[in-house]
Every structure is written in structure tokens, then in C-alpha cells.
Structure 1
Amino acid sequence: MVLIGFHASHEQIGPAKLLQAVRDAETVGFDGAMCSDHLAPWSRAQGESGYAWSWIGAALALTQFPIGLVTAPGQRYHPVITAQAAATLAMLFPGRFWAALGSGEALNEHVTGDEWPDKERRDLRLRESAAVIRALLAGERVEHHGEVRVHEARVWSRPEAPPELLAAAVSPETAAEVASWADGLITVGADPTAVAQTREAYRDAAGGGPLAIQIHVSLADSDAEALALARDQWSHATAPADRMWELEQPEDFEALADPTEEKLRSAVLISDSAPDLAERIAEVALGFDRIYLHHVGADQTEFLGRCESELLPALRRLL
């Protein structure tokens, strides 16, 4: 059975309201949830960025379904700290916490004052960080000198079974790169062809485990309202893809955004019809084991209501 999850967007919603939203998501019938791990929002219009690791502990305590996060070890987080945090959550909530490891964006990582590496070095740093985290979760004492440095580290409180460590990848090239170490893959997108290429690249490189996808959607009473919502809250997604990882400030994304209707509709599934939206989600998510829906509005109440009455039943019939 395909898991249908709710994406909790820290960039757009304050921690308390987001906590209520994830509780409501479980009530209306979602099977799980995930969240972003940002220090800054993508745009000033979003205007939030709560600390994901604190929040996810509260969210797991107040729900019963699995919740994970996408995080970037190696710069803002030392991988030893990531391993310790993941171990504690996995002990407190056995079988319910997972993490997806990615190479990160300058938006969140530049604050350390360290050099932001090029793509090749970021990928190497991620691979080293994943190996360090796995070793620590296995109870090993770790010494490592490379893109990350670790001196005689151990994690003392560890779960009986380590949490899933998925890899986050957007491009086919990155998906193939992470296949050697990941427990599964999570990607993001609204283009069926593009996400299929990423999915297939991971499997072709012998990547195992579950395939997950996050899909941005905007559902409102009218198509015009749904489009306006996407333009207000998710315009940063129209910035040039090759610049997304290098920009440091929300203002930088705003300056490069091209929020034309065509560009917005290529990044976000926009609709006023739940059955139509369900069909488009199913098309994008073909071949994936887990789907995480992110409604790009800052208020999730109406969306969750329509999920319960319309969207989730329609989507389950199609999967």
C-alpha cells in the first residue's frame, strides 16, 4: 500500500500552528508526515523557520504515525550531532522516526561562515557524513579526517534498531550517487517525466529501499485563488534551478524568481478540483512507495478539510 503523508513546512508556519496541523493531518487520514529542516525561509512572504529537531520530538509525542525530516549534515550540523539526535528520537519513538540526508543549500548553511563547497565536494561531504552517522548508530567509535573531521566520537544512547537513513536527491545524477549508501530515496517535483528519471537513476544504480516523493500542491475554491496562493508563497521555486543551491538570502530568491503562470504551474500542482488534483498527483507519483503532499498555503485548515472529504479518498482510489 502506498503511504500518503503530510508535509509540514517550517518555512511558512510557526511551530505551534504547525504542530496542530500535523495532529489534524493524522486525524483526517494521512498515514505519516515529514518536515523540512531550515534555518531561513525561502522568501520573506513565508516568514517562519522553527527548529525542526525540537518540533519533531513534540510532533511524534502527540501523534501515532511515522514522521521524518530532510536534513543536511556536514556544515550547520556536525554529523556526530545528527547521529546523536537521530538516535535519541529513534529510542523514544521506535520505528516511527526517519531522516533523509541531503547535501543542503547555502540558504541554511552559509551562516557558519565556512566556505560553501562546490557540488562535487558537497556530495563527498554527504557520503562521508552518512558513513559517520551509520557507524555511530551501530555503536562504533569513530575517527575520521576528510571533508568532515571526527575525533574519537561515540553515541552512547542508541536504539535497538537504527532509524532509516534515506537520501534526498533532485537530479538523476545525485540519485545515482547516493544509491550506494542510502536506505531509500526521497525526491521532490511536479513533472512526471523528471521525477521518473530520478527514480529510475536510483534503481539503475542498485539503490534499494522505499521511494518517496514530496509534491507541492495548491488547492483552493477557484483556480485563480490557487494560483495566487502559489505565487505569494512558493514563487522561489521559479528561480533558475542551477542557482537554487548557491543563494544565501530569501531576498536573493525573490530577485531571481519568475512567477509567471507557466513557471508556477510547472513547480506546483494548482487546482480548484480535488478529483483533478488527485489524478495529477497519482500521475507524478507513479512508481513511488510514499507520497508527501505539501499544500503551499500558510493556513492548512481548509486544505486538510478537503483532504478528509475529497482528496484522500480520491487519491486512494487511484493508487
Structure 2
Amino acid sequence: MQIGYFLSCEEYAPESLIQQARWAEEAGFESLWISDHFHPWTDEQGQSPFVWSMIGAISQVTSLPVTTAVTCPTVRIHPAIVAQAAATSAVLTEGRFILGIGSGEALNEHVTGARWPATGTRLDMLRESVEVMRALWQGDFVDHHGEHYTVENARLYTLPDTPPPVYVSAFGDKAATLAGEIGDGLVTIPPDADLIRTFRDSGGAGKPVHAGYKVCWGPDAAACVSTVRSMWPNDALPGELAQQLSSPKHFEQAGQLVTEQMIDESVACGDDVDRHLDAFRPYVEAGVDVVHVDQMGGKRQGSELEGFFAFYRDEMLPRMRELAG
């Protein structure tokens, strides 16, 4: 099992993300996830740098593999453009790039005025987008006239030696089945053994499973709980709200239902090693291959971001690797 770090474009400015990538490699993390957002989930998070610019910059300061977690190649950006961005990212990282994709959220995809499709349609669009991207990565001229996308006389001239792997995000059985059918791997957040089994039974046997979760390290656990509730209440929202709400203000309104007790019971807050280890343990038990950890609240707490990396370097990563066997 590998342990990586999750770069949150929703919370951190470009220069901070670049610095975190450096610190992650120095601390002993083995890979990077990076989110792709047009909007943050809440105004308090306050950032949303363009992920493709960030990957280019990060590729010049670290040798760690980078995975988008995740890009939506269906509504806001045409899959032909995502194919070009992914190909260039793979070149810049010398083949250490994985394109993580998903069916998206209205929060990011509605901004062009396009209609936000129903779940089944979004999954159909995702399937076709992968067909378009893989055709373009072959290096030939592509003409595609599908149900959702048109590509005319298009060719990518800057290509890696090997096309980037495509990992598909899933939070339900239909998406997990699609991920097994078309993906080179699975991206998910919760350590859901049943979902992973569905992925593997649908064609994903032997393919990698990536997952990620958030923590809030700091010397004052109560302050960490307060930080999470004010900055990341969206992480505690249930069901399909994350896919359907279209504004940071909507997430802030829904987040008013999230209590500090809910945060305290679900997020590793503070500097207790065992508590952070308990947050990691379910991913080992679920059979995840690569897990990425994100530090929440570093923008607000300043030096706590450096403290997080020191804590994980000295205290957590050795214990996590021991637990993972």
C-alpha cells in the first residue's frame, strides 16, 4: 500500500500548493492527488486555481506521481481539450501522471450555462469522453460523431510515450460498474469494501484502487474541529447533495446542519497519533492500494501546515506503513 498527499485546490493558493508538493515529497509521501474545481465548496475555503496550470508547475518541483482527483471531461471542458491537457501533463511528469475522472458536480460544471444532466446521462457522457480521449492519444487524426460529442479532424502532436492511465471515480454501484468496465483504476473517497468489490467484479480485478480522506492536524483538537466545521462542512453532507448543489452559498446553507459533534465523530482532529491512525485503518481493511491524506485548515492556521508534514513524517507514516503491512 502506498500513502500519498492530497493537494486541495479549493483551499490553497497556487504558491502554497507548490510548496506542499515539495514538503510532501520531503516528508516521505509517495504520490500526489490534486482536485479540479472551478468553485470552492464554500467561500471560506476561498481558492480554485486552474488544475492544469498547477500540474505543470508541480511537475517542475517534485518527482512524485500526480493524479487528478478528479477531472470532469464532459460538460465544462470538452474531452478533446482534456485529452490534450492530460497528454501534456504526462509529458511534463515524464509519465508519472494519472488522469482521474468523474461525472462531476453542478458546482463546477454549470458555469458555462450548459444543462446539468441526470446521473445516467452523465455516466453515458463519461463513457463516450473516454473513447474520445483514448482515440486522440493514439496520435492519429480523429473524427468522432457520437451521441454527446463531436470531434472533427483533430490530432494531438504532443504525446507521452505511453497514454496516461484513466482512473474513474465512483460513489455508487452504477459508477463502480462503469469504472470496472472502462477504467484503468478506481478513484473513491470512502473505504467502501462493497463498492470496491463491485468495481473488481465488473472488470476491475487487478486494477489499482485510489482513495483519499481529510484530517485536521493541530495542537488544539477543539480548534481543529471548529476549523473543519467552518471551512469544510460539505464533507459531512449526505447523499447526492455534492453533485446537485450549484453554488458555494448553497453548500454553506446546507452546512449549517453540520454540528461540531458530527465533525468530532467523523474527522481526525488534533495531534493524537492513534486517532489519525484510526482514520487510516478502514482503508487498509477495505483493500485500497493507494490512499491520500489532506490537511484541512492550513490556510487559516498558517504554521500548522508545516506541523502537519513534520507530524506525518515523524509519527504517522512509519505507523501507517507498519499497519498496512
Same fold (TM over 0.5): yes
1:170 alignment partner, SS class: coil
Match of 2:297? 297
Match of 1:94? 94
Match of 1:14? 13
- Any stretches of 5+ residues in structure 2 without a counterpart? 300-304
2:271 is the counterpart of 1:278: no
Match of 1:121? 121
CA distance in 2, matches of 1:123, 1:228: 36
2:245 is the counterpart of 1:247: yes
State the Cα RMSD in Å: 1.6
Letter aligned with residue 313 of structure 1: P
Q: CA deviation at 1:127?
A: 0.5
2:33 is the counterpart of 1:34: yes
Seq. identity, %: 35
* Regions of 4+ moved over 4 Å: none
2:33 alignment partner, SS class: strand
TM-score (norm 2): 0.92
Q: Is the 8 A contact 2:226 2:260 kept in 1?
A: no
1:37 alignment partner, SS class: coil
Q: Is the 8 A contact 1:80 1:136 kept in 2?
A: yes
Match of 2:254? 256
Q: Is the 8 A contact 2:10 2:47 kept in 1?
A: yes
Letter aligned with residue 254 of structure 1: E
Q: CA deviation at 1:200?
A: 1.2
- CA deviation digits over 1:99-144, x for unaligned, max 9? 1111110111111111010101100000100111111112242312
- Any stretches of 5+ residues in structure 1 without a counterpart? none
Letter aligned with residue 66 of structure 2: I
CA distance in 1, matches of 2:8, 2:79: 23
Q: Kindly tell me: are residues 260 and 85 of structure 1, through their superposed partners in 2, closer, same or farther at Cα, counting changes over 3 Å?
A: same
Match of 1:200? 197
Q: Is the 8 A contact 1:173 1:201 kept in 2?
A: no
Q: CA deviation at 1:24?
A: 0.7
Q: CA deviation at 1:222?
A: 3.3
Match of 1:159? 160
Q: Is the 8 A contact 1:32 1:67 kept in 2?
A: yes
CA distance in 2, matches of 1:199, 1:266: 24
Q: CA deviation at 1:75?
A: 1.2
CA distance in 1, matches of 2:172, 2:242: 13
- CA deviation digits over 1:65-114, x for unaligned, max 9? 11121200011111001111111121232221111111110111111111
- CA deviation digits over 1:193-239, x for unaligned, max 9? xx212211101212142111011112222331221221122101233
Q: Is the 8 A contact 1:216 1:267 kept in 2?
A: no
Within the candidate set 206, 210, 213, 2:211 is matched to: 213
Match of 2:73? 73
CA distance in 1, matches of 2:281, 2:21: 22
TM-score (norm 1): 0.94
